[in-house]
A and B are shown apart, each in its own frame.
Chain A
């Protein structure tokens, strides 16, 4: 009998971290070791209610538990936000192709992120930092609506900024309190000389509108479309390229993605919608 690809493995939520007014991180312990590559996603089942796709935000080096950062945006995410520690969940996956980290070796990695898009980026960031010497540099440009809306604040505002080889700049759409940084959408902190174009790759993840304008900006700088990596979040359901919900042109985001180069998908209509 072929293994049933619709069968979830069991897991438990052991910790819930409030990241922002609308975003929580859930630490999930699967019943058995669970390996994934950074950028791959899982289908998280809330028993009896349904499942939804999420890219783990933790480092793939940790296999006994994973963190999943979730914004309250729809029915399942709303129900997940009401969950307490000890909640049983189901996990299917991992699915798709993640970030081709090995291809980034020796290069400057230019990461542009916004909002809950920092979730997959955190996993990538931790992966890169684990072997930081392999990369020329890791340059991050992150945005959020307000300072409170930044997730992973503790790491982001402190320790991550002090890592050798890492350069982080932050911006908020609307400042309040004692925010002394940049104010403006994320494209306002992107500069042509942030990286050397001839030896850089860009990674973009965030709300669709932000991804669109960040990508346009990178193209304007002269980035070639095949060097811009986008984490496309569509309605992935089966995870194995059959059910059709996540199709983006000829691609199944679940199987061929969720990470695509802009070059792969630029010809299809409504990719940012």
Chain B
């Protein structure tokens, strides 16, 4: 892959914004949220050290959208190309999850597919993970290995830019004036920062390094009382599923407009009481603990069965957003310990 050097972000973002809408993470309070990039702004753009608070799914699978118009079908409007800047490895891996669901052969979601085709991804390395980040436990780490068009790594005096797709390479070629040759030592510096960040992740999540696959822990503890116990502080705010970049449940509902009927598609949450309820009152997940079990089993066992990858990327957003005290890391640790101790007892017998 081609690597070039960039000394300032602004000219790069300006060039990008000349072709499409660009979304950049902006510090808002303690977190970053994506906002539309305004090229008329003065000064250098700050690179986000950590993932944004909001999930990348909102660019492809918006909170609410019109999914169908009837009785006369309507051609959906064209999607303009757009770029999202500053995505992290966890974000890119969440796209991999959503791609599996929404671009599945025979069952393609046309709205997702259209937006995905028009999306230009500029990722960047993490250099200061948050306390809730545990991506290294979920097959991820401090930098993206694939899934980007361009990746930006901050080093001394600038940024190493690497193309990860044809689209990315074309951009670099077209704007060769923006870039220079990678200076001596910059690659070594990049790799050092990556390794340091990775080391920090390893240290802060040392307790989550289990001696068996998470899948195995989940499958052998699905009847555990830990779920009921851990769910006691859940207030069903559903924030965990909203900010989760891989949660993709939605709710279809119908509306009456002046000239047409519309079928709307809106984010939903499996943590909601009535979510799995049916007419007549049946509900397989009336109990909060059952809903927590289902959510985590879906992420760490069921999804793997179907698509071969975990549905959790370890971004820690759910931990940060939590109104109660539910923490996926704590649940995992308790399940692991329960299984380990159960096995010990068996051996002792």
Interface string of B58-71 (1 = CB under 8 A from A): 00000000011011
Whether B248 is near chain A, meaning CB under 8 Å from some CB there, is yes
- The minimal Cβ–Cβ distance linking B174 to chain A, given in whole angstroms, is 29
Find chain B residues with CB under 8 A from A10 CB: 70-71
Residue of A nearest to B253 (CB): A50
Interface string of B83-118 (1 = CB under 8 A from A): 000000000000000000110100111100100000
Which of A90, A234, A250 contacts B301, CB < 8 Å? A250
| A73 CA / B70 CA spacing, docked (Å) | 26
Which of A5, A73, A208, A271 contacts B107, CB < 8 Å? A5
Whether B276 is near chain A, meaning CB under 8 Å from some CB there, is yes
| A233 CA / B280 CA spacing, docked (Å) | 11
Binds A, one of B5-13, B20-28, B255-263: B255-263
Residue of B nearest to A116 (CB): B280
B268 and A273: CB pair below 8 A? no
State which residues 291-326 of B face A: CB under 8 Å: 293-294, 297-298, 301-302, 305-306
Find chain A residues with CB under 8 A from B263 CB: 6-8, 45, 51
Whether B283 is near chain A, meaning CB under 8 Å from some CB there, is yes
B73 and A49: CB pair below 8 A? no
Interface string of A61-91 (1 = CB under 8 A from B): 0000000000101111100000000001010
Residue of B nearest to A249 (CB): B302
Which of B71, B109, B275, B284 contacts A242, CB < 8 Å? B109
Secondary structure call for the A interface: loop
A1 and B302: CB pair below 8 A? no
A235 and B277: CB pair below 8 A? yes
Whether B206 is near chain A, meaning CB under 8 Å from some CB there, is no
Find chain B residues with CB under 8 A from A6 CB: 67-68, 252, 263, 265
Number of interface residues of B (CB under 8 A): 51
Whether B285 is near chain A, meaning CB under 8 Å from some CB there, is yes
Whether B1 is near chain A, meaning CB under 8 Å from some CB there, is no
Find chain A residues with CB under 8 A from B285 CB: 270
Q: Which of B250, B254, B255, B270 gathers the greatest number of chain A CB atoms within 10 Å?
A: B254
Find chain A residues with CB under 8 A from B253 CB: 50
B252 and A77: CB pair below 8 A? no
State which residues 260-289 of B face A: CB under 8 Å: 261, 263, 265, 268, 270, 275-280, 282-286
Which of B223, B251, B284, B306 contacts A248, CB < 8 Å? B284
Q: A6-B263, A237-B252, A242-B107 are in contact. Are A247 and B71 (CB under 8 A)?
A: no
Q: A234-B276, A271-B284 are in contact. Are A5 and B254 (CB under 8 A)?
A: no
- The minimal Cβ–Cβ distance linking A198 to chain B, given in whole angstroms, is 32
Find chain A residues with CB under 8 A from B298 CB: 244, 247
Residue of A nearest to B101 (CB): A242
Whether B290 is near chain A, meaning CB under 8 Å from some CB there, is yes
Find chain B residues with CB under 8 A from A270 CB: 284-285, 290
Which of A3, A46, A241, A269 contacts B110, CB < 8 Å? A3
- The minimal Cβ–Cβ distance linking A95 to chain B, given in whole angstroms, is 10
User: What is the number of contacts between chain A and chain B, taking CB atoms within 8 Å?
Assistant: 129
Residue of B nearest to A71 (CB): B280
- The minimal Cβ–Cβ distance linking B4 to chain A, given in whole angstroms, is 36
Q: A233-B278, A234-B276, A269-B284 are in contact. Are A243 and B251 (CB under 8 A)?
A: yes
Find chain A residues with CB under 8 A from B108 CB: 2, 5
B249 and A245: CB pair below 8 A? yes
Residue of A nearest to B106 (CB): A240
| A17 CA / B205 CA spacing, docked (Å) | 63
| A62 CA / B2 CA spacing, docked (Å) | 60
- The minimal Cβ–Cβ distance linking B282 to chain A, given in whole angstroms, is 6
| A255 CA / B107 CA spacing, docked (Å) | 10
Q: Which of A7, A246, A248, A273 gathers the greatest number of chain B CB atoms within 10 Å?
A: A273
Which of A8, A52, A88 contacts B279, CB < 8 Å? A52
Interface string of A27-58 (1 = CB under 8 A from B): 00000000000000000011111111000000
| A47 CA / B284 CA spacing, docked (Å) | 29
Find chain B residues with CB under 8 A from A75 CB: 279
Find chain A residues with CB under 8 A from B265 CB: 6
- The minimal Cβ–Cβ distance linking B55 to chain A, given in whole angstroms, is 16
Whether B76 is near chain A, meaning CB under 8 Å from some CB there, is yes
- The minimal Cβ–Cβ distance linking B278 to chain A, given in whole angstroms, is 5
Q: Which of B113, B249, B283 gathers the greatest number of chain A CB atoms within 10 Å?
A: B249
A45 and B70: CB pair below 8 A? yes
Q: Which 10 A-B pairs have the closest CB atoms?
A: A74-B279, A48-B256, A250-B302, A244-B249, A6-B67, A73-B279, A73-B280, A270-B284, A240-B107, A2-B110
Question: Can you list 23 A-B pairs with a CB-CB distance of less than 8 A?
Answer: A4-B68, A5-B107, A5-B108, A6-B67, A7-B70, A10-B71, A45-B263, A48-B254, A76-B279, A90-B261, A233-B278, A234-B278, A237-B252, A238-B250, A243-B268, A244-B270, A246-B276, A247-B276, A250-B301, A250-B302, A270-B290, A271-B284, A273-B284
